[in-house]
Amino acid sequence: MDRVYNFAAGPSTMPEEALATAAREMLNYNGTGMSVMEMSHRSKVYQEIFDHTAALVRELMAVPEDYEILLLQGGATGQFAAIPLNLLGAGRSADYIDSGNFAHGALTEAKKYGDIRCVASSREENYRRIPVWNEADFNPDAAYFYITTNNTIFGTRYATLPETGKVPLVADMSSNILSEVYDVRRFGVIYAGAQKNIGPAGLTLVIVRKDLLGHAQPICPKVFDWTIMAEKGSMLNTPPTYAIYMAGLCLEWLKKQGGVAAIEKVNVEKAKLLYDLLDESSFYRPTADPASRSRMNVTFTTPDPDTDAAFVKAAAAHGLANLKGHRLVGGIRASIYNAMPIEGVRALVRFMKDFETEHR
Ligand SMILES: *Cc1c(COP(=O)(O)O)cnc(C)c1O
């Protein structure tokens, strides 16, 4: 069977070129006579693979030297706990914006470890927009301020970032990291699970400003302690070796596309193809507020749930896979991360027009 256009939210489509290289190198990496999966993480050859991936992250995101790049395990969900455990010293408090289900999960988890305040929420509107915030509500003495830059389930994105002054901004970028240019200096911590826009699942990227290290709570598990992990080059224990190698191949591909600024232009164009169609149609209805629209996850419905289901099924038969929306929103979700080619989005647009003609 041919490859399909895979619109899954995560794990998600990866650059074909990266997969082909991995296939070629599967049994014998670079004359070592073994697969990357079979190598000691303490070997020289593996250290080079690790350093290459970390260096590509630094280069592509222009990460300044006073930030550590950590390649960890435990997923974004692990970091929901690691963030307060690393940043929330005794007697301190942190501010959160509740913009989606993952933001809510982060907030709930953090409450186990300290004093957490929710300063804005769109939960009552089923997260159809990024909540409106009022800077007067921010705690100027907070240990950190937490946001989720792209809300994967609801298809929303911060068009502007909150101004938090001296309070470090901590961002879950799991579903839009490397898809648009961010100035890393605006953040104290950026983190992401890899399985949407970096590479395969199993790897968690944490970028942390060095002055924020050294404040972990005594109960912080060692594997989640950024300070210890930074000292150990992310190898306190065995890192997710193969996922790090695969991420390196995906980042090489991204570099070849011209890097983040170049892919951002393509991403804007891809999203526009879909939103233009949704705005012109009286059959499809976009579910996210226009001012909060994501470029990575486009959410919409047809006139009724039965037609949504028929849409997902017919699309799959046309080689357009995994378009079913998340159960919290229903309808349809097209995840169009970096590795989704614009041809895939064009094919989806053509299918949507034909489907509308047949079902109107
Ligand atoms: C997918 C996702 C998560 C959860 O990631 P895991 O790696 O499965 O823990 C958290 N936040 C956002 C924004 C996501 O898209």
- CB of 175 within 6 A of ligand 1: the answer is yes
Q: Which of 24, 25, 3 is nearest to 13 (CA)?
A: 3
Mean per-residue pLDDT for 335-348?
A: 98
Domain with CATH 3.90.1150.10 in the chain: 5-13+258-359
- Between 75-87 and 101-110, two packed helices, what is the crossing angle to 10 degrees? 40
Question: Residue 11: is the preceding peptide bond cis (ω within 30°)?
Answer: yes
Mean per-residue pLDDT for 147-153?
A: 98
- CB of 152 within 6 A of ligand 1: the answer is yes
Query: Which atom number of ligand 1 is nearest to the Cα of residue 148?
Result: 13
> Which two structure tokens, joined as six digits, stand for 255?
């570099």
Specify the pLDDT at position 360.
Answer: 86
Thinking of the domain 16-256, which architecture would CATH place it in? 3-Layer(aba) Sandwich (3.40)
Between CA 237 and CA 317 the distance in angstroms is 44
Phi-psi region of 246 (alpha: psi -120 to 50; beta: other; left: phi over 0): alpha
**1 pLDDT exceeds 70?**
no
Query: Which atom number of ligand 1 is nearest to the Cα of residue 78?
Result: 9
Torsion of CA 162, 109, 173, 349, to 10 degrees: -100
> Which two structure tokens, joined as six digits, stand for 322?
């995994």
Mean per-residue pLDDT for 14-43?
A: 98
Between CA 186 and CA 95 the distance in angstroms is 16
Specify the pLDDT at position 90.
Answer: 87
Thinking of the domain 5-13+258-359, which architecture would CATH place it in? Alpha-Beta Complex (3.90)
Mean per-residue pLDDT for 267-276?
A: 98
Domain with CATH 3.40.640.10 in the chain: 16-256
Specify the pLDDT at position 250.
Answer: 98
Q: For the chain, what percent of residues have pLDDT higher than 70?
A: 100
- CB of 10 within 6 A of ligand 1: the answer is yes
Between CA 300 and CA 184 the distance in angstroms is 32
**293 pLDDT exceeds 90?**
yes
pLDDT band for 200, please (50, 70, 90 cuts).
very high
Q: Which residue CA neighbors atom 11 of ligand 1 most closely?
A: 102
> In what helix (H) or strand (E) does residue 72 lie, and over which residues does it extend?
strand 67-72
Mean per-residue pLDDT for 285-311?
A: 98
pLDDT in tens, 93-107: 999 999 999 999 999
Query: How many helices and strands in the chain, by DSSP H and E?
Result: 9, 14
Mean per-residue pLDDT for 145-169?
A: 98
Between CA 267 and CA 294 the distance in angstroms is 10
Query: Which atom number of ligand 1 is nearest to the Cα of residue 100?
Result: 13
Contact 345, 336 (CB under 8 A): yes
**341 pLDDT exceeds 90?**
yes
- CA pseudo-torsion sign 26, 32, 34, 35: negative
Query: Which position has the token pair 């070796």?
Result: 241
95-110 in b/e form (b: 16+ CB < 10 A) is bbbbbbbbbbbbbebb
- CA pseudo-torsion sign 151, 152, 157, 163: positive
> In what helix (H) or strand (E) does residue 248 lie, and over which residues does it extend?
helix 241-256
Residue 57 has φ and ψ, to the nearest 5°, of -60, -45
Contact 64, 184 (CB under 8 A): yes
Mean per-residue pLDDT for 173-180?
A: 98
Q: Which of 79, 101, 152, 294 to mutate to test the pocket of ligand 1 (most atoms within 8 A of CB)?
A: 152
- pTM comes to 0.98
